[in-house]
Amino acid sequence: MRDKKPSFPKPLPSTHLLGTGTPMCAGCGGLQVLHEIYDLLGPKTVFVNAAGCLTLLAVYPFTPFRGGWLYTAMAAAPAGAQGVRDALDILVRQGRLPPEENLEVVALTGDGAAYGMGLSATSSAIERGLDFLYLCYDNEGYGNTGQQYSEATPHAARTATSGGPRGFMGYKKDLFAIWAAHRPAYAATVAGAEMLDLARKAEKAKSLRGPRLILALAPCPTGWDFDPQDTVEIGRLAVKTGIWPLKEYVDGRVVHTKIPRPRLPVEEYLKRQGRFAHLFEPVRQEELLKEIQAQVDAYWARVES
């Protein structure tokens, strides 16, 4: 079955661009996505970062980056990206920076900044037509502080601040739809486990100009409570159960890039993670499980109609 070579968008790198030796947890889904995308974007990038787990990628004097990196503040990554992009454009236009020295500007934040504190800055950067790529590693909670619920936490998930019998009472915000409503140049959801889909989308994003989003599900062994080796499996199950739809917004249309058929029951995804264990033990919370399944079913019914 593996005899057929996968159609990878470009020759595989024999080594990877993102430096090793970072202090991220073993099995970090966010780091996985970043290193996959960095290989595709190349070193002519400057990452503008907001407070989150990946802030600690660069701790003096160690950095895994081969291009640029600027840590701003939790709410400020898109604004920092604006300043860097504008300055680079000014320098190129004035002839003070040779075009080959130019950089792609990438805002890099977790869900806390992307869905919450930094959303005003994001909305405004899109509105201004800023030429940047926004990479969000979504681990569905404030992971860097011990996984409290964020605006990206899914319904019923237990977090450090939603430890009740029903878990988190809110619902995950639809950041992709919020971006799409802004009519950006591009927006896509990806999962690190779905490498080919991710690679194609990263290449697509790289080929376009203007505001672009790559919203990556980042399975988090520490925050979601599963064994680090299951990071890929959890990501695949998120896609196969339909909980994390892979899609893209381009030219005013939303297209699903992988429609799971048949869709696995959401339980297959939920039961693998400690944050949902209370749905199964000590007693099975049928009502909650049904609600989660019904929401996923309703989503796909809309997609397929």
Partner 1 sequence: MQVTAPGRALLTGNAAAAWAARLARVDYVPAFPITPQTEIIETLSAWIDAGELDCRLVTMESEHAMVAAAGAAAVTGVRVFTATSSQGLLYALEMLYAVAGWRAPLVLVNVSRGLAAPITLEPDHNDVLAARDTGFLQIHCATCQEVLDSVLMAFRLAEDPRVRLPVIVNQDGFYLSFTREPVELPDPEAAAGFVGPFDPGTLRFRASAPLSQGVAVLGGGPYSYFRYEMHLAAQAALSVYDEIAAEFAATFGRRPPPVEAYRLEDADYAFYMTGSFATRAKEAVDCLRQAGWRIGLVRPRLLRPLPEARLRELLAGKKAVAVIDQNLSLGKGGVLYAELASALYGHRGAPLLVSFIGGLGGRDLPPEEFFAMAGVLKAAAHEGAAPPPRLLFTAEELEEVHRLRAIAGAERARLKESP
Partner 2 sequence: MYRLRFHGRGGQGIKTAGRILGTAFFRAGFEVQDAPRYGAERRGAPIFAYVRAARRPIGERGIIRRPDLVAVADDTLVTIPAAGVLAGVAPHTVLLLSSSTPAEVWRERLQLPGLLLTLPLGEVWEAAAVRFLGATLAGAAARLVGVIPREALVEAIAEELAHLGPSLTTENQVRALAAFDLLAEHAGCVSEGPEPSAAAYEPPRWVELAPEGADLAAPAIHLPATSEAVPTGLWRVVRPLVDRSRCRRCAWICSTLCPDGTISVDGDGFPVIDYQHCKGCLVCAASCPARAIRVVPERQAARVG
Using CB under 8 A, list all residues that contact partner 1: 43-44, 46, 48, 55-56, 58-60, 63, 65-73, 75-76, 78-84, 86-91, 94, 96-97, 100-103, 120-121, 123-124, 128
Question: Measured from the CB of residue 83, what is the shortest distance to partner 2 in angstroms?
Answer: 16
Q: How big, in percent rounded to 5, are the helix, strand and coil portions of the chain? A: 40, 15, 40
| 52: partner contacted, choices partner 1, partner 2, none (Cβ within 5-8 A by kind) | none
57's tokens: 């990628």
C-beta of 34 vs 121, nearer to partner 1: 121
Using CB under 8 A, count the residues that bind partner 2: 49
* Cα-trace Rg, the chain: 19
Q: Is 193 in the site for partner 2 (CB under 8 A)?
A: yes
> By CB under 8 A, is residue 23 in contact with partner 2?
yes
Residue 35 interaction partner, one of partner 2, partner 1, none, beta carbon < 5-8 Å per kind: partner 2
Angle at 239 between CA 236 and CA 241, to 5 degrees: 105
Comparing CB distances to partner 2, the nearer of 15 and 305 is 15
Q: How far is the CB of 30 from partner 2 (least distance, A)?
A: 8
Check residue 262 for interaction with partner 2 (CB under 8 A).
no
Task: Give the span between the Cα atoms of 166 and 278, in whole angstroms.
Answer: 8
Phi, psi for 189 (deg, rounded to 5): -100, 145
What are the tokens at 42? 């190349």
Determine contact, residues 240/263, Cβ cutoff 8 Å: yes
CA 76 to each of CA 110, 111, 119: distance values in angstroms, whole numbers, following the listed order:
13, 14, 9
What is the closest distance, in whole angstroms, from the C-beta atom of residue 129 to partner 2 in the complex?
30
Alpha helices in the chain (DSSP H): 29-41, 77-93, 111, 119-127, 175-181, 195-207, 221-224, 231-240, 267-270, 286-304
SS3 109: strand
Closer residue to partner 2 (CB): 142 or 176: 142
List the single partner that 231 binds among partner 2, partner 1, none, CB under 5 to 8 Å by kind: partner 2
Q: Is 261 in the site for partner 2 (CB under 8 A)?
A: no
Query: Binding partner 2 by CB under 8 A: which of 92, 123, 148, 230?
Result: 230
Choose, by CB under 8 A, the member of 15, 94, 207, 305 that binds partner 2. 15
The C-alpha atoms of residue 211 and residue 134 are separated, in whole angstroms, by: 8
The reply to whether 80 sits near partner 2 by the rule CB under 8 A is no
The reply to whether 16 sits near partner 2 by the rule CB under 8 A is yes
Answer whether 7's CB lies under 8 Å from 38's CB: no
List interacting residues with partner 2 (CB under 8 A): 1-2, 6, 8, 12, 14-29, 31-32, 35-36, 43, 56-67, 192-193, 195, 221-222, 228-233
